[in-house]
Structure 1
């Protein structure tokens, strides 16, 4: 791709990264676990493996990975891999606040059922490159309404990726040998979405779906490459992060709404999955830091 150029905007209020674009020519930037407090879009050309959360994903050719704040990931490649990274902090652009305009939450980000990447085809590639160059040019020449223009370019970039991913992954449940499995998996998704605030154990969902826990575990692992417990935990964490970011509710209140009577147990659960405490998450990316300006 382009030569190695780095363009960075810093939040003047707190000194944190707000928006950044850079090119890279090997995997040295990402060859160790990343747990960033901002969103990351990593456009890769080459072959290798990306580790994210509990799974590994092989990439070949032209792929773009999307990661949420504090989502762990790393990249490994045996041969040269080049790419472009685009980072933006939730204070710069909050996908939750802009969900009505850019429906990327649940498609690009925070989807526990789909792989976190999209294949960039020949039609989309030049469009995305033009948007990246427009963002780079705007960052080099600060002028009136710079923030508004960058946000506009970023929105178009995200919408383009969302449309592409929706085309490529319309329904992962169709391709299965067992005609019964798609219904079980869809029912499981619906059940988790409906009950994750009150049902936290895998056995609860097996019972409600009228299937043995062992059989459900095998199906879940086979299709999502995650255990049922991991799926439930990820959905709880997504909601906890949303509440910590968008509201000023006490951690104790959020814990209670998510089905945890013990605030400290919830905090340990959150830290085990995110690597920082709920309060630290709020202070670095959430309501307490930005006050939703």
Structure 2
């Protein structure tokens, strides 16, 4: 399977209820060539696995789902199924606008570090019941404002069930000012990293001074603002190196670096290997072929 010459595809939902999609997990996990199926989405994916084992690649980390558990994939994360063995369950896709803001705040906190979470019998029964009800509701194919409202709230309830058992959901305290600014910085970074490389640019967007933003980010994460800007660019570079045939110079340009030599130095400093070596490694890895 040859790599695509275009950048990684971004999928959007295209069902009759344009911001909701639900189907059995076994359909989604059906074997497909990984390079053909690797993509990112404009929406959240919530996975409720009831039985079996699934292995996914999510932004270059292998994620294994064993038995009854939940997992979510955030918008923008590049992913594909590596393998699936006797799995059953459900996969729910929902645009962020369909999810209550309180739940979105928790999901944002988990971005990039989410882990599978086991479900006990009580959780299993709740997920199964709510998702089956939502599936039946979607199957009715009726149109109207009341139906749309019912679907919207049903999806939000399901999203709430997922977030309620995530590690960060147990802490109901409002985040400190420093944590809040770090979270908002991360959201803005994912939107603007191609065009904005200056820490002061993010400080302006957040209406704080560069020194205060740097203090908040460093206190919360242990790293300065400049580190996270570089890491976001390197992550996107990895995605393009692994899943496209764009030349390194083209990738550097897409990521906002006019000097591809500087970009290559930055990539090697961050990863320990050159972009070409990284591409070769992924091309020869069973998880990518």
User: Taking structure 1 as reference, are residues 139 and 79 closer, same or farther at Cα in structure 2, changes over 3 Å only?
Assistant: closer
Instruction: Supply the distance in 2 between the matched residues of 1:34 and 1:10 (Cα, whole angstroms).
Output: 22
Instruction: Supply the distance in 2 between the matched residues of 1:138 and 1:193 (Cα, whole angstroms).
Output: 35
Residue of structure 2 in register with 1:89 after alignment? 95
Residue of structure 1 in register with 2:255 after alignment? 268
Alignment of 1:173-188 (within 5 A): none
Kept after mapping to 2: 8 A contact 1:43/1:64: yes
Higher relative contact order (Cα pairs below 8 Å, separated by 6+ residues): 2
Kept after mapping to 2: 8 A contact 1:107/1:166: no
Residue of structure 2 in register with 1:39 after alignment? 44
Kept after mapping to 2: 8 A contact 1:63/1:118: yes
In terms of fraction of residues, the more helix-rich structure is 2
RMSD: 4.4
User: Taking structure 1 as reference, are residues 267 and 10 closer, same or farther at Cα in structure 2, changes over 3 Å only?
Assistant: farther
What TM-score, normalized by structure 2, do the two folds share?
A: 0.51
State whether structure 2 residue 135 is matched by structure 1 residue 136: yes
Residue of structure 1 in register with 2:199 after alignment? 199
Structure 1: runs of 5 or more not aligned: 1-7, 12-16, 171-185, 218-227, 238-264, 271-293
Alignment of 1:1-293 (within 5 A): 9-10=15-16, 17-25=18-26, 27-28=29-30, 32-44=37-49, 45-77=51-83, 79-90=85-96, 93-95=97-99, 98-99=100-101, 103-109=102-108, 111-112=110-111, 114-141=113-140, 142=142, 144=144, 145-166=146-167, 192-193=182-183, 198-199=198-199, 229=228, 233=232, 268-269=255-256
Count of aligned positions: 191
Instruction: Supply the distance in 1 between the matched residues of 2:25 and 2:184 (Cα, whole angstroms).
Output: 42
Structure 2: runs of 5 or more not aligned: 1-13, 190-197, 201-210, 237-251, 258-289
Instruction: Supply the distance in 2 between the matched residues of 1:194 and 1:89 (Cα, whole angstroms).
Output: 19
What TM-score, normalized by structure 1, do the two folds share?
A: 0.50
